[in-house]
Structure 1
């Protein structure tokens, strides 16, 4: 009995102990943040995950809705198969549209991990080589936090700002203001700009120039949001850090370069978008000599993890943005893709405004509109014999065509003959098969000569040409049209385009120039939402069905209904009109 009393007293003493270290669980037999991230190399593993998640914004699944942010339904592109497709018909966009749930969750999921990793950097058990190593890891993590809030703020406006790990679930989140979201972005990008490395040996890792680029853009956004014009000068200063080579050697590529520089009849702009060679040489990479490249989304068909799980055999630029001319059974084509045709499936078509008006405004000298950069002339192909294309100048293809006036004719073509526009009279002809093909979105060769799954091309997240256009926007809004025109003309000069006069520079001209330079690169939808001009530009320049259905509410995306429902213990209003 005495022994039992002593044991009971001992247990009482143990339970009464308030020493938190004594009570803390030691996770010796399973992984936690506390024991998984204890040195720089382990933090590198965690940081690499953020790059993988960002890559999902560029190449996620075979579904055109996942490419909405590139500008589907805006002034420059639309879904052509049916006028009832999402974004072609803007009335179909609402708070239950699933893509908004996907991107909202993707970026808040990354924010959770960023904040968790940042907290761990302050754990005294972490073995840093020096303070600079710690600051660099924090800077990289904060770059991605800024990236997330930039995306969310541009698309949705105000969202909850979280800068600490979330320990317990909550049903009472509320929306912070868009202004505060932008200020958080500026704080994070400013820290990243000061503490990231100037250069790296690993392609695709972010550097100071990337942070300064986004910092400049965020200062413009904050100036627009608050009316504080001093922000525009700060944007100019941030962009100048990159343009003036204060954070690394950057310049536009004006001479032929890369592994295909000897291909005749092309230019440096064409070289920028050549797929990685079979032996791994990347034209996109800063490390191989592309000094215009600031941040590139990395993909590789031949490396484990080099592509996303949802699309593990290819990237989708070609399928999304190229027409399916190979799929016709007219004019000598047999419905099978060839190595040089690629395998576009016309998910997204450039608008008439992009195809014609925008280039008419730019002038005929603009090489970005040259045939080798935008293919407008389609020709009858060579015949295939025993699975191989052969030269046969005597081959004649006969195709029955009904002209627009109802006349039936038989078109006879030899290989290489031009397919005339007046023979393209069906909706499928002009909407899916034959329309201007933006060559930077695809390739005239494919791995193993296999167009279905042999296309894998990197993406530019940031290119110096855009930094010039960001600074031009800041100059314009800071009432300095002369310097705005000068920056725009640096970009235009590379294309041999006629310089713009300062008097002609306005926000419409700037957006036109962004389209000419950055089509299928920039997230056009986010740019227009940032400026509050999506409705205006679509109404004036969008495809007819898009222009009829777009509403002012579309200047922001809808907050996902699932997010509103999850915050049942607080007011979480949707954006106006939704």
Structure 2
């Protein structure tokens, strides 16, 4: 963890709340020295860093969650924002339905303009855009800002601040275009004097052109190794450029930017055990997900962007583990619930969305990405010493300590066969408060973007450019690390690449976006997701524009996405 990017979050969020509602604080004549406004904060490098800290705090809410309350930027461990980009796909389905996972299991009228989670995410992303716009506008237009300090010269500092804000604005618009298609494109901060009620939806192509522009500027001014943990790196920006060019059907540009990341000696795939627990049983693939191993300073050369979380200092929590992990403590055998919640087991899960049976079965037996170190497939019954300081497991009739309790995925999850406590789950985000394994939140730093995905973008670009052999060799870099069998050109098509992305990136990538940009979401979700896939239709490729947003656009009608009322 790193305190610098987090502690500023407390100070920056009240200002961002004011910006969200467009208070024209800069028009006031009286400016008490204790009042934080855009005019008083954005005058020095330190002030801009505080604003950036708040912006990163908004971005991290993707994994923190929100209930969707009146203030949608208030994190709440009761709804995972990123579920909208992961659940309802070929490799993720609803298990214990609640909130958005209900939508992902039923679709139809549940995917509606009034849905709380869809509305909350839309507003959160525009809150993020506005926070980025404020930093960019104030940095570009301020005539007397003091850019000294921070280890760089004034021009370098200014460009880096603008670059970070533009990269995060691009990140937000990436979410918006994949989620809602045509969306309003706004590059100006919202003030009381500039509140609009006549927004128009810009075509996706126009918004993505702006995303490319923002990323191109950011790529020039963001360092390979950010000075502060948690900040976006040049490699992450180049990665997003590669993906954007793929979705814009420019594979030659996509290949160029993927190679910019892959050929940088600072970024390397981790092929050997390292860091904490390196001498304990495990596999090289999973070491980077261990708390204390995720950051580049901790040895993770594969990381392009690592998100920072901390317990008790205002740095935010994450609920990835809780939202995905199965409710193993509810497994019942012979009337006994044997398994206790422990730190070693990763804490408590609620399993709102989980792996599809197809995703679990996708691995070869020797592929370490499908091993019990990566996907929980069994537990060992522990005595008090093994579970310490937590109680011993309870023994069902006929069982002894040391026996295994196996997870069961013999039948797929369906509308009539769900809420499975004994379902396998990814262990990438195991982790809990050591003092409270039953707690809702986790505080471990998390890999958000890594080099392995860049390799898979490269393979996709190579395939589109006619080099299946090149794509096979690129993919084999990852398969060798996992000890999976190597593949040749005859195996490579877009479906194989999508399969490989699932094997490598399940519970990491925005799977819905990947399938949508490759034109495969309907086909593959219907084929492999039996708890929701049977209900999706063409209209569900986009989420509806929230009703509250359309209603607030008082002086110009905003169109709704096709198929929604």
TM-score by length of 2: 0.84
Name 1:62's counterpart in structure 2.
77
The answer on whether the counterparts of 1:88 and 1:546 sit within 8 Å (CA) in structure 2 is: yes
Q: Which of residues 371, 393, 400 in structure 2 aligns to 1:414?
A: 400
Instruction: Supply the distance in 2 between the matched residues of 1:487 and 1:193 (Cα, whole angstroms).
Output: 24
Cα offsets for 1:138-166 (capped at 9, x unmatched): 11111111111111111111111111223
Q: Which of residues 279, 282, 286 in structure 2 aligns to 1:262?
A: 279
The answer on whether the counterparts of 2:94 and 2:354 sit within 8 Å (CA) in structure 1 is: yes
Q: Which of residues 469, 474, 483 in structure 1 aligns to 2:461?
A: 474
Cα offsets for 1:480-505 (capped at 9, x unmatched): 22222222111111101112222221
The answer on whether the counterparts of 2:136 and 2:162 sit within 8 Å (CA) in structure 1 is: yes
The answer on whether the counterparts of 1:216 and 1:238 sit within 8 Å (CA) in structure 2 is: yes
Q: Which of residues 521, 536, 548 in structure 1 aligns to 2:534?
A: 548
**Cα 1:236–1:486, aligned 2, differ >3 Å: closer, same or farther?**
same
Name 1:71's counterpart in structure 2.
86
Instruction: Supply the distance in 1 between the matched residues of 2:412 and 2:492 (Cα, whole angstroms).
Output: 39
- Structural RMSD (CA): 2.9
Instruction: Supply the distance in 2 between the matched residues of 1:109 and 1:274 (Cα, whole angstroms).
Output: 32
Instruction: Supply the distance in 2 between the matched residues of 1:321 and 1:477 (Cα, whole angstroms).
Output: 34
Instruction: Supply the distance in 2 between the matched residues of 1:234 and 1:370 (Cα, whole angstroms).
Output: 36
Instruction: Supply the distance in 2 between the matched residues of 1:426 and 1:135 (Cα, whole angstroms).
Output: 51
**Does the residue aligned with 1:143 lie in a helix, a strand or coil?**
helix
Q: Which of residues 468, 481, 487 in structure 2 aligns to 1:494?
A: 481
**Does the residue aligned with 1:85 lie in a helix, a strand or coil?**
helix
The answer on whether the counterparts of 1:327 and 1:336 sit within 8 Å (CA) in structure 2 is: no
Instruction: Supply the distance in 1 between the matched residues of 2:463 and 2:387 (Cα, whole angstroms).
Output: 60
Instruction: Supply the distance in 2 between the matched residues of 1:70 and 1:434 (Cα, whole angstroms).
Output: 25
Name 1:382's counterpart in structure 2.
383
**Cα 1:176–1:114, aligned 2, differ >3 Å: closer, same or farther?**
same
Instruction: Supply the distance in 1 between the matched residues of 2:261 and 2:342 (Cα, whole angstroms).
Output: 42
Instruction: Supply the distance in 2 between the matched residues of 1:274 and 1:159 (Cα, whole angstroms).
Output: 38
The answer on whether the counterparts of 1:322 and 1:345 sit within 8 Å (CA) in structure 2 is: yes
How far the C-alpha of 1:355 sits from its partner, in A, is 1.5
**Cα 1:24–1:473, aligned 2, differ >3 Å: closer, same or farther?**
same
**Does the residue aligned with 1:57 lie in a helix, a strand or coil?**
helix
- Greater Cα offset, 184-193 or 103-112: 103-112
**Does the residue aligned with 1:190 lie in a helix, a strand or coil?**
helix
The answer on whether the counterparts of 1:201 and 1:287 sit within 8 Å (CA) in structure 2 is: no
The answer on whether the counterparts of 1:70 and 1:521 sit within 8 Å (CA) in structure 2 is: no
**Cα 1:159–1:421, aligned 2, differ >3 Å: closer, same or farther?**
closer
Instruction: Supply the distance in 1 between the matched residues of 2:297 and 2:227 (Cα, whole angstroms).
Output: 7
**Cα 1:165–1:133, aligned 2, differ >3 Å: closer, same or farther?**
same
Cα offsets for 1:515-542 (capped at 9, x unmatched): 1111111122232233343222211111
The answer on whether the counterparts of 2:319 and 2:440 sit within 8 Å (CA) in structure 1 is: no
Name 2:230's counterpart in structure 1.
204
Name 1:370's counterpart in structure 2.
371
Is structure 2 residue 295 aligned with structure 1 residue 285?
yes
How far the C-alpha of 1:349 sits from its partner, in A, is 2.2
Is structure 2 residue 51 aligned with structure 1 residue 50?
no
The answer on whether the counterparts of 1:333 and 1:381 sit within 8 Å (CA) in structure 2 is: no
Is structure 2 residue 323 aligned with structure 1 residue 320?
yes
Instruction: Supply the distance in 1 between the matched residues of 2:179 and 2:516 (Cα, whole angstroms).
Output: 6
Q: How many residues align?
A: 512
Cα offsets for 1:435-492 (capped at 9, x unmatched): 213222314x751363435842222221000111111122222222222222211111
Q: Aligned ranges for residues 505-524 of structure 1 at < 5 Å?
A: 505-524=492-511
Instruction: Supply the distance in 1 between the matched residues of 2:46 and 2:392 (Cα, whole angstroms).
Output: 56
Instruction: Supply the distance in 1 between the matched residues of 2:453 and 2:387 (Cα, whole angstroms).
Output: 47
**Does the residue aligned with 1:86 lie in a helix, a strand or coil?**
helix
Name 2:13's counterpart in structure 1.
none
Name 2:247's counterpart in structure 1.
221
**Does the residue aligned with 2:531 lie in a helix, a strand or coil?**
helix
**Cα 1:498–1:109, aligned 2, differ >3 Å: closer, same or farther?**
same
Cα offsets for 1:172-226 (capped at 9, x unmatched): 1111100011110000001000111222232111121111111111111122xxx
**Cα 1:426–1:335, aligned 2, differ >3 Å: closer, same or farther?**
farther
**Does the residue aligned with 1:202 lie in a helix, a strand or coil?**
coil
**Cα 1:101–1:385, aligned 2, differ >3 Å: closer, same or farther?**
closer
Instruction: Supply the distance in 2 between the matched residues of 1:67 and 1:117 (Cα, whole angstroms).
Output: 25
Instruction: Supply the distance in 1 between the matched residues of 2:184 and 2:462 (Cα, whole angstroms).
Output: 31
Q: Aligned ranges for residues 150-549 of structure 1 at < 5 Å?
A: 150-167=174-191, 168-223=194-249, 231-245=250-264, 249-263=266-280, 265-275=281-291, 282-302=292-312, 304-308=313-317, 315-330=318-333, 333-334=337-338, 336-341=340-345, 342-356=347-361, 358-359=362-363, 363-382=364-383, 397-398=396-397, 412-419=398-405, 431-443=419-431, 446-448=433-435, 450-452=437-439, 455-542=442-529, 544-549=530-535
Instruction: Return 5+ residue gaps in structure 1 as ranges.
Output: 1-22, 224-230, 276-281, 309-314, 399-411
Instruction: Supply the distance in 1 between the matched residues of 2:412 and 2:190 (Cα, whole angstroms).
Output: 56
Look at both structures and tell me which one has the larger radius of gyration over its CA atoms: 1
Instruction: Supply the distance in 1 between the matched residues of 2:409 and 2:558 (Cα, whole angstroms).
Output: 55
